[in-house]
Structure 1
């Protein structure tokens, strides 16, 4: 198979795995991340392997430990799939390195320096977590996990471990903006993503200001 055919197989695999997701990480999210990654690839001067980059973009949530019951088993299945469709062992390792290490929760542990292809995928994923779509996804995810929308008596946490971050009983949907989403613009790796993030960041800030005004009954 050529690279186009391989990526089509990857796309179908991702669709099969993610199409039933009800937390904001469904196949629509995957496709937006792939589009973001393609855009960044086209607008950055530093080269990155497009097949590795886009394959990782398609597959980045397949073994996410907040989405699957057995992340290790999911990674093994992913590795087997990559070998089956023609990726070399080295290419498979590169893709798994990216998919295993791009999440925000990984930054709460010992951080790993990603290759440039991984930095692109990380930026592409983070761009879909902010702005208008990021707002909708935050509410959608919080609703799926019965999170409180907002409680002015619960302050956003400033520091937390990965385990604490994943404990949604200690979070509200609005606090999630302060604990994660508003941090992402400064965490972008590429100049292209940093530029795109500025507008989305401001959109979230405007939303939060309006939310507070309406919550407090200001006219």
Structure 2
């Protein structure tokens, strides 16, 4: 675990200025959630790989970096420099290049147990109160409309089209509310359902406030 401080420092350097909801604070929470899930599930895994993948997963993401290929090359060199084994390097890179929701629109990868747990932790961050705020933050940064009843949610099957987005509220139906059923572990599924209920209550309130003439506030 002696490499983790360097991993954290690398992630902080790459993510601290992010304004899309994928900053260092997000990476830190994913690492914490991944550690908690692994402990609860009581599985055997390489903890350094788990934590490294959690902190680094957005440092090569096309939502965050302008050139994925360059970011990936830099990350691979960094992992080698701090003496991760070739096997560890390969597992970390495979996890972070195959764990995203958009990647699964193309094909679902066979992630290791560490990868499945990091994926679960990242997806929990897209749910609940944090998920609501991050969705609004990301949508605003990309100039997506907040809500337009005339624009219906899309069942995306193509990453390029998915990246374009529709509206902030549609994103709940296009991705977020689908996540609980995509969890890999029982621990994450239980927490995902709890957060999903909170989001559904939020949406119910949102629709009342969006059309106050039809609401029963008073």
TM-score band, normalised by the shorter chain? over 0.9
Match of 2:193 among 195, 198, 213: 198
Residue pairs, 1:134-173, within 5 angstroms: 134-168=131-165, 171-173=166-168
Aligned partner of 1:59 in structure 2 is 56
The whole-number CA distance in structure 2 between the counterparts of 1:143 and 1:159 is: 21
Structure-1-length-normalised TM-score? 0.96
> Partner residue of 1:41?
38
| 1:31 has 2:28 as partner | yes
Report deviation, 1:160: 3.3
CA contact (8 A) 2:106 2:157 kept: no
State the alpha-carbon separation in 2 of the partners of residues 160 and 215 from structure 1.
Answer: 30
Could you tell me how far apart the structure 2 residues matched to 1:122 and 1:176 are? 19
What is the match of residue 17 of structure 2?
20
Q: Give the CA deviation at 1:46.
A: 2.5
Q: Which moved more, 1:38-47 or 1:128-137?
A: 38-47
Give the structure 2 partner of residue 86 of structure 1.
83
Tell me the equivalent position of 1:122.
Answer: 119
Q: Tell me the matched-pair count.
A: 214
CA deviations 1:129-187 (Å, max 9, x no partner) are: 1100000000000111111000000010123311110013xx00000000000001110
1:216 Cα deviation (Å)? 1.8
Q: Displacement, 1:111?
A: 1.5
* Separation of aligned partners in 2, 1:89 and 1:151: 49
Q: How far has the Cα of 1:45 moved from its partner?
A: 2.9
- Tell me, which stretches of 5 or more residues in structure 1 are unaligned? none
The runs of at least 4 aligned residues of structure 1 exceeding 3 Å deviation read: none
Normalization by structure 2: what TM-score?
0.96
**Runs of 5+ consecutive residues of structure 2 not aligned to the other structure:** none
CA distance in 1 between partners of 2:156 and 2:4 (Å): 39
For residues 143 and 110 of structure 1, what CA distance do their matches in structure 2 show?
29
